[in-house]
Structure 1
Amino acid sequence: MNRRDMFKSSAVAASMVPIIGKASEDSGNPEERTTDNWFQVGTGQRGLPDRKETLTFDVAVLGGGIAGICAAVSAARNGAKTVLVQDRPVLGGNASSEMRVHLNGVTHLKPDNRAERETGVIEELLLHNRFNNKQESWPVWDHLLYDFVISEPNLELILNTQATEAVMNGSTIVAAKCWQLTTETQITIRAAQFIDCSGDGLLAATAGALYRSGREGKKEFGERYAPDEPDGWQMGATLLMHSEDMGKPMPFQAPSWAIPYEAEKSHPKRKFKGFQNGIWWMEVGSDGDIIGEQEEIRHKLMCYAYGVWDYIKNSGKVPEAENHALTWVQSLPGKRESRRFIGDYILHEGDLLNHTHFEDAVGYGGWSLDEHNPGGIENLKEPPSYFHEHFHKVYEIPYRSLYSKNITNLSFAGRNISQTHIALSSTRLMATCATMGMAVGTAAALCIQKKCNPRDIATRHINELQEQLLRDDAFIPHRPANDSRDLARKADLIAASSSVSGDAKLLTDGWSRDFEGVEHGWESHGLPAEVLLEWEEPVTLSRVEIKCDTNVKRNIMMRKDSMVSKNFWNDVPVELLKSLDVEARVNGQWVSVGSNDDNRKRLIKFNFDPIRTSGIRINLKETYGAVNAKLFEVRCYET
């Protein structure tokens, strides 16, 4: 029996596969390291290392990729004591320096390839990078992610640590048993809510959460791009390379284990354009246990990658590579697919292509249906990806796809959410996953506040979740904000200085961007400029929140080619508001309640002691280069 037949005959080939963790909190590594023969020279004593600890949090986020970062930061900001556990020494997952994948999302809507950029926590990260990493260094990006996370109050970061086993009480996760490689420490993390953003989802699998892998057949969900019959194929992992022009011919000799690239057998879409920044189609997939095969896949990828580079350098077909030499080769494969956990709703191809409207929408996407061919570089006759459909507008992602169907306190964000293989071909993009992360992190904090679980949020508190996401500058298509606590919506007058576009009244229409051709903002005619809100009867205020313009129609992620065009920008957006202040009218006099001359965020917050006021005046002074300032939203709160 060959390996594939063996796999198909085993229990793990089922379409939904629970792996149930029955462990108690005291199981796992041995209780006593009685054979450890430690002699400490400094004290002259022998002893045993005590490397076990138990930590307690409200919310535990497993996986420190982009989705996990957004989930953890959102949970912490919304009042939950949160821990972020990452199994690598750096954050960022596929976007980190270890893999260097562009942080794409809704990057290229047709017909003009414009973005509909994700805002909220993910935009803060990208702006943080644009301000502090103008040299566009990948290792510096790692440390900016680190800075972003450890600077967040209420959030603890644990690196080099993997959650390996769920401790269960019925269908509820009580704790996660973790192993920290660097300190040889067994860490038990207790929490009320768990969010698995690790991609492969080991904790969720050991908890017994239902999941599936492979490709659904056409009939199950009526997916036109699915295979006729279900199979086990999963999209492959990739190894990227980087080379630089050294100014002189640079010879290359392939290692003995390199697998020669057979160009004559390859589909014409396997091209070498931009080879210096890596070739994404150097990938290997699987029709079996893609996690169990990972080390075999890693070795194959190394063999194929060096074979492709040998062809680039020595075939004579890519003469522009003559002076190029490799300066970096990825060692940890960048994964696209493994487990997909089952929620109360399985997102599928039709939802994306038909732009299904979900009452519980909390995220969105718009990358093309980019299904990589099943065998990757081992299936040369097929194109590297099929790009079945390109989107002209965004689609919605429902909250019901972001938590487990059978484990009560378990949520997901990233490629492991409840969806089909075809849906995954689009939703797997990291900035799209970031919208999911922000949603489940916010929902987990709401679960702590309400003393409930994710399904309760879906059935009883979805409006509250959506309103908080919108307030925190997430974007939910076709779902304008309508926060009854926002006193700006009750202002009797909203006016502004002279405008070139929009109307100041749009600042309270619930939309935080221009969308699908409809204007939702106000733009000044030059600077300085001002916006005025007045109430006939004075109100008590202590917060003013403003959403300014960062041009969400243009991408600002870091790219290896540092592209600048109408669709890409490699610096701080010139539209971003740099300097402003806020005044309140108290007893007929304008008094300052806040100023910011070094603003670096789209969502600008001013908090001050409660005052009784009949008016708020926002004075706009300077942008990062644009002649005019544009605002999309003003909110005012009592507490």
Structure 2
Amino acid sequence: MGYWWVELGGEHHSIYDTEKLRDELLKIVLGIWDHIKNRCPDRKKAENWALDWLQFLPGKRESRRYIGEYVLTQNDIESEGRFEDIVAYGGWTMDDHNPAGFYSVSINAPCTIFYPAPSPYGISYRCLYSKNIKNLMFAGRNASCTHIAMSSTRVMGTCSSMGQAAGTAAAIAVKNSILPCDVKKHIDALQQTLLYDDAYIPWVKQRFSRNCIEAKLTSSSGNPEPVRDGINRPVGNDPHCWQCSENDWIEYQLNKVNPVNRITLILDSGLDKLIAMSHLQKDNQLTDMPETMPRNFRIEGKIKNKWHILSRVENNHQRLFRCEINKELSGIRFVLEKTYGSKKSRVYAFYFE
């Protein structure tokens, strides 16, 4: 495991001084290892530790950032980032590391200062494309953020969220032969495409077809309505799901026979598990499939008033599951057969096109 406070660079050029900083960091790392093994009062606890591998390429927390049409700030994060063009989100605490890094202790300064951030907060699409280079997009640690805002957006989950948004926006730009900056005129399409792909956008709901909304929705137990409420994961104290046990079912009864091309399920991948900082939570980490994930299930369709198995899935491993149907149906049903061990599972979305 690494120690985050073994860092330098805030008082140097993060690009031109990379090799100089690498050499100094290697000295620090080996000095810390020497202390742990030979000088620390608790060194007996480390007597069976061995240095197996050492990083020789410095990992850069912060370097160049591009300027977009909008620059995300600390104030934006603290006010939850409720932009109209929100396409990604974060939630990590803002932590402003001392420029002196490892040597901050020598000047009696803290290694970092934490600034609370709401979880989640929104990130504007305008932070993901250049304000003066027409075909340049970016996401991650080079996005359009201030230094303090980047101290929160830099973490990999948030970078991934921005990356998916930027990639989806690029696809929309290509499809419509427009520039990245013009995708903001299609922000609803961008948001709905992201939600359709099971991205999460705070305060934005997924919309479903009229046929899906107007169909009668019933289940063998519990309240089925959350599967079409447009929020496909737990938020706060609201689970936004239909809870089920093995052999439970949920079904749509259509007003009339309709063509059904595809069904979508968003299933239980164990989002209640904390997977960040895994070395601090070893006993809570998944080493296999989440127990709550539906393992075996079937999709049934009602044809001429009789239910027929359209698809039977075994050893499912996907949270987002789609199945091509392409049939005329008057009803659609999901039946849970088996989980990976849990007595209960949850379905966050079940809809058809």
Same-fold status (TM-score > 0.5): yes
Verify: 1:585 aligned to 2:332, yes or no: no
Q: Give the C-alpha shift of residue 570 in structure 1.
A: 4.0
Structure 2 equivalent of residue 404 of structure 1: 130
- Contact between 2:92 and 2:119, CA under 8 Å: does it hold in 1? no
TM-score, structure 1 normalization: 0.53
Q: How does 1:20-419 map to 2 (within 5 A)?
A: 277-319=1-43, 320-380=45-105, 381-389=108-116, 391=117, 393-419=119-145
Structure 2 equivalent of residue 449 of structure 1: 175
- Contact between 1:527 and 1:622, CA under 8 Å: does it hold in 2? yes
SS across alignment from 2:30: helix
Q: Give the C-alpha shift of residue 386 in structure 1.
A: 1.7
- Contact between 2:219 and 2:250, CA under 8 Å: does it hold in 1? yes
- Contact between 1:487 and 1:635, CA under 8 Å: does it hold in 2? no
CA shift digits 1:471-509 (9 cap, x unpaired)? 1000001111114x4642231x1011123xxx2011111
Verify: 1:497 aligned to 2:220, yes or no: yes
Structure 2 equivalent of residue 517 of structure 1: 237
Structure 2 equivalent of residue 430 of structure 1: 156
- Contact between 1:564 and 1:570, CA under 8 Å: does it hold in 2? no
Distance 2:67 2:210 in 1: 37
Q: Which amino acid aligns with 1:494?
A: L
CA shift digits 1:499-553 (9 cap, x unpaired)? 3xxx2011111110121222311102x3111011011112111210000112323
Q: Which amino acid aligns with 1:539?
A: N
Q: How does 1:622-633 map to 2 (within 5 A)?
A: 622-633=338-349
CA shift digits 1:151-185 (9 cap, x unpaired)? xxxxxxxxxxxxxxxxxxxxxxxxxxxxxxxxxxx
Structure 2 equivalent of residue 508 of structure 1: 228
Structure 1 equivalent of residue 259 of structure 2: 540
- Contact between 1:555 and 1:569, CA under 8 Å: does it hold in 2? no
Distance 1:632 1:455 in 2: 33
- Contact between 1:528 and 1:621, CA under 8 Å: does it hold in 2? yes
Q: Which amino acid aligns with 2:270?
A: N
Q: Which amino acid aligns with 1:323?
A: N
Relative distance call for 1:431 and 1:633 in structure 2 (3 A) is same
SS across alignment from 1:332: coil
**How many aligned positions are there?**
350
Relative distance call for 1:302 and 1:487 in structure 2 (3 A) is farther
Verify: 1:615 aligned to 2:331, yes or no: yes
Q: Give the C-alpha shift of residue 615 in structure 1.
A: 0.5
Relative distance call for 1:558 and 1:386 in structure 2 (3 A) is closer
Distance 1:548 1:477 in 2: 19
Distance 1:611 1:471 in 2: 22
- Contact between 2:297 and 2:314, CA under 8 Å: does it hold in 1? yes
Q: Which amino acid aligns with 2:3?
A: I
% identity of equivalent residues: 37
Distance 1:361 1:561 in 2: 32
TM-score, structure 2 normalization: 0.94
Structure 1, unaligned runs of 5 or more: 1-276
SS across alignment from 1:542: strand
Q: Which amino acid aligns with 2:136?
A: L
Which is greater in Rg?
1
Q: Give the C-alpha shift of residue 625 in structure 1.
A: 1.5
Q: Which amino acid aligns with 1:510?
A: G
CA shift digits 1:23-73 (9 cap, x unpaired)? xxxxxxxxxxxxxxxxxxxxxxxxxxxxxxxxxxxxxxxxxxxxxxxxxxx
SS across alignment from 1:387: strand
Verify: 1:600 aligned to 2:320, yes or no: no
Distance 2:250 2:118 in 1: 34
Distance 1:431 1:555 in 2: 13
Relative distance call for 1:383 and 1:571 in structure 2 (3 A) is farther
Distance 2:8 2:301 in 1: 61
Q: Which amino acid aligns with 2:338?
A: E
- Contact between 1:486 and 1:636, CA under 8 Å: does it hold in 2? no
Distance 2:206 2:152 in 1: 27
Distance 2:344 2:25 in 1: 50
- Contact between 2:255 and 2:330, CA under 8 Å: does it hold in 1? yes
Distance 1:614 1:550 in 2: 30
Q: Give the C-alpha shift of residue 395 in structure 1.
A: 0.6
Greater Cα shift, 428-437 or 351-360: 351-360
- Contact between 2:80 and 2:118, CA under 8 Å: does it hold in 1? no
CA shift digits 1:54-105 (9 cap, x unpaired)? xxxxxxxxxxxxxxxxxxxxxxxxxxxxxxxxxxxxxxxxxxxxxxxxxxxx
Q: Give the C-alpha shift of residue 445 in structure 1.
A: 0.8
Structure 2 equivalent of residue 236 of structure 1: none
Relative distance call for 1:349 and 1:392 in structure 2 (3 A) is closer
Distance 1:630 1:547 in 2: 9
Relative distance call for 1:487 and 1:454 in structure 2 (3 A) is farther
Verify: 1:555 aligned to 2:282, yes or no: no
- Contact between 1:341 and 1:417, CA under 8 Å: does it hold in 2? yes
SS across alignment from 1:613: strand
Distance 1:614 1:558 in 2: 48
- Contact between 1:594 and 1:607, CA under 8 Å: does it hold in 2? no
Q: Which amino acid aligns with 1:555?
A: L
Q: Which amino acid aligns with 1:590?
A: W
- Contact between 2:137 and 2:166, CA under 8 Å: does it hold in 1? yes
Q: Which amino acid aligns with 1:414?
A: G
Q: Give the C-alpha shift of residue 560 in structure 1.
A: 4.5
